[in-house]
Structure 1
Amino acid sequence: MIPKSLSIAMAGLIALATVASGHPGESHALPRAELYRRQLEANKRHIVARNCASQIAEFNAKRKAKRDLEKRSAEPILNGRYFRHQESATSTGTADSPTYTTIQNSTCVTTPKVTEGPYYINNELLRQDIREDQVGVNLILDIGVMDVTTCQPLDQALVEIWHCNATGHYSGFTSANMGGGGNGIAPGGNGSAPLGSMSPLAGTPGGRGGSTSMTDQLRFLRGGYATNSEGMVEFSSVYPGFYTGRTVHIHIMVHTNYSVASNGSVISHSGTVRHIGQLFFDDALNEKITTQGVYANTTETRTYNDEDSILDSENADGYNAYASTEFVGETETDGILAYITIGVDPTFVTSITSDNYASGELE
């Protein structure tokens, strides 16, 4: 929801001052001048995004009229972000076109308070279905991108996402210790992996800033795709798990003017990065999913939303980093539809810091 008033809260300033990289044990204090600059940028984007409220509401009305998943209803739970579905309709069940045809009125206008984190990999595949062999609750992720300077959907923007699997492991880092608490100490245990795709935990903690060294060239639960003419893109994934020090979350990056190699990989540094952020889910839904099935087969320690400092930062100053969610069927095990809109200022430029790259020749 776009707030109707803007306030510069001390809590937001504190979050900005302490968050730098998006994972525990990697933050450091920002200089006062940098803190002030980022706060001014946040305020500017907040104001222009607020001015798009009527356009987002219009998109929302059109989108609701064309919902086509099975068994949906309008029974809201948890401030309208988490829904159950009982009304019958026709399902599309594909990732080729968005489930909704216009942008939803649930807008995440997050500021660039975090980098891509230690588990980003450059030059990932251009694809919408990122599941590969990963098991868990199916997740359909509808993402809208809006130009907050024009209040219009932003087409042909590359939206890139990546997240851990059901047992808390990122592809490319399956033998690395994940996360860790605020002291940078990573958890132990062997974090059983689905389908035998991972080895027991080894290696070193994620470190403070920068990128963790890759341990493999697996690519599950990573990918990017362009928004359509309505500013929408849809991904097929599995609901993320958690790892020690972090709540359930998905990383998002938005590029413009990017290039794609002949091998189907995005050339990460070919265009301009306009947004880096994370999206989150209500803990009631997290609890339903992560306490059953493969999600329970982990030695990682659960971190809740109210314990995650990155979520606090992403939601600072009234921004909304929560995805709206609905059941595809009768229960959460039938699959989850999640949607969120990313407000992007096309004049803003940020950069990728990771020095990790997917293998393969780019042409």
Structure 2
Amino acid sequence: MERKSFLKSLLLGTIATPVVLSACDKEADTVTPTTNTSGTGADTTTGTDSGTCTVAPSETEGPFPTKSPASYVRSDITDGRTGYKLTAKITIGNINNSCAGLANAIVDIWHCDADGNYSEYGGSGMQSTNLQAVHFLRGRQVTDANGLVTFTTIFPGWYNGRATHMHVHIYNASGTSLKVTQIAFPEGSNSAVAAVNGYKKGLNGYTYNAKDNVFSDDSAGVEIATVTGDTTNGFKLAIKLNVAA
């Protein structure tokens, strides 16, 4: 299928939407992770990894997945939400092709705003702020020939029980789900997490990666992206997520 026709089909919502899961914890995963590049480093044009060909760990997409992801084919997902600018470069690799970039993969991302709230949800005990009528910080892109998608967004905030993170759902060109995973952020005194300092909330009560129920078993840092930049000029995130396609 030509790229123009494929993108048109996404806009029309012909790709099936994902199933909503009930919790924001870790799913069972049989993949043994290996080391992933993380922390502060030079800016890159694609996502980064350690050079090994390892499948990204599987994680839950709940409890706040995008309800109609095919409706949000866009690279700028800010949608009026305020916060420090974040440019996210995510590369999808295919382990069945020596982790070469996977072209025409569909990549959905979503994350909370600076206050720790998700669009499309709220008015309940899990999120008291009702944001059901808005759709910020959610988007879908199709990978280029190098397996790369780029999103313009804001640096995520945090909420109780979770470290700073982003959700990712990857499909093949036919709309078959290949992987649901999450992206963690480097931590420490010189990290972007420390620089943002939880926006208005600070980091008092923050759950760090080592205690997070999704990332706590990621001792090799496979899910931790490279994040560079500052609060004045904005931040840049890069990561490579490998799937079996």
TM-score by shorter chain over 0.5? yes
**Is 1:103–1:231's contact at 8 Å kept on the other side of the alignment?**
no
Aligned mates of 2:162, 2:47 — CA distance in 1: 29
Measured against aligned partners, the alpha-carbon deviations of 1:175-212 in whole angstroms (never above 9, x if no partner) come to 34447xxxxxxxxxxxxxxxxxxxxx268xxxxxxxxx
Tell me: CA distance 1:335–1:103, structure 2 relative to 1, closer, same or farther (3 Å): closer
Partner of residue 239, structure 2: 340
Which SS does the other structure have where 1:310 is aligned? coil
- Of 166, 183, 196, 2:114 maps to 166
Return the offset for 1:326. 1.4
% of aligned pairs identical?
Answer: 26
Partner of residue 134, structure 1: 81
- Of 31, 48, 51, 1:104 maps to 48
Structure 1: runs of 5+ lacking an equivalent: 1-19, 57-78, 86-98, 180-200, 204-214, 259-270, 347-363
Aligned mates of 1:160, 1:132 — CA distance in 2: 16
Which SS does the other structure have where 1:119 is aligned? coil
Partner of residue 225, structure 2: 323
Partner of residue 8, structure 2: none
Tell me: CA distance 1:243–1:300, structure 2 relative to 1, closer, same or farther (3 Å): farther
Which SS does the other structure have where 1:161 is aligned? strand
Aligned mates of 1:169, 1:202 — CA distance in 2: 7
Tell me: CA distance 1:178–1:82, structure 2 relative to 1, closer, same or farther (3 Å): farther
Aligned mates of 1:167, 1:122 — CA distance in 2: 21
Q: How many residue pairs align between the two structures?
A: 217
Partner of residue 194, structure 2: 287
* Residue identity in the other structure for 2:146: E
**Is 2:47–2:89's contact at 8 Å kept on the other side of the alignment?**
no
Partner of residue 183, structure 1: none
Aligned mates of 1:176, 1:299 — CA distance in 2: 24
Measured against aligned partners, the alpha-carbon deviations of 1:133-190 in whole angstroms (never above 9, x if no partner) come to 11111000000010011122100001110000001000012434447xxxxxxxxxxx
Which SS does the other structure have where 1:312 is aligned? coil
Question: Is the radius of gyration larger for structure 1 or structure 2?
Answer: 1
Partner of residue 182, structure 1: none
**Is 1:22–1:310's contact at 8 Å kept on the other side of the alignment?**
no
Partner of residue 208, structure 2: 304
Structure 2: runs of 5+ lacking an equivalent: 1-20
Which SS does the other structure have where 1:311 is aligned? coil
Tell me: CA distance 1:159–1:245, structure 2 relative to 1, closer, same or farther (3 Å): same
**Is 2:77–2:137's contact at 8 Å kept on the other side of the alignment?**
yes
Tell me: CA distance 1:310–1:122, structure 2 relative to 1, closer, same or farther (3 Å): same
Aligned mates of 2:112, 2:178 — CA distance in 1: 23
Which SS does the other structure have where 2:96 is aligned? coil
1:82 aligns to 2:28 (yes or no): no
* Residue identity in the other structure for 2:140: G
Return the offset for 1:110. 2.4
Which SS does the other structure have where 2:118 is aligned? coil
* Residue identity in the other structure for 1:244: N
TM-score normalized by the length of structure 1:
0.53
Tell me: CA distance 1:245–1:80, structure 2 relative to 1, closer, same or farther (3 Å): closer
TM-score normalized by the length of structure 2:
0.77
* Residue identity in the other structure for 1:320: V
Write 1 or 2 for the structure with the bigger share of strand.
2
Partner of residue 206, structure 1: none
* Residue identity in the other structure for 2:228: E
**Is 2:104–2:145's contact at 8 Å kept on the other side of the alignment?**
yes
**Mapping for residues 62-73 of structure 1, pairs under 5 Å:** none
Higher mean alpha-carbon deviation, 297-306 vs 280-289, is at 297-306
Tell me: CA distance 1:118–1:333, structure 2 relative to 1, closer, same or farther (3 Å): same
Return the offset for 1:83. 3.5
Aligned mates of 1:343, 1:176 — CA distance in 2: 35
* Residue identity in the other structure for 1:325: V
**Mapping for residues 6-85 of structure 1, pairs under 5 Å:** 23=24, 38-39=29-30, 42-43=31-32, 81-83=39-41
**Is 1:172–1:218's contact at 8 Å kept on the other side of the alignment?**
yes
Which SS does the other structure have where 1:127 is aligned? coil
Write 1 or 2 for the structure with the bigger share of helix.
1
Tell me: CA distance 1:290–1:103, structure 2 relative to 1, closer, same or farther (3 Å): closer
Aligned mates of 2:203, 2:123 — CA distance in 1: 14
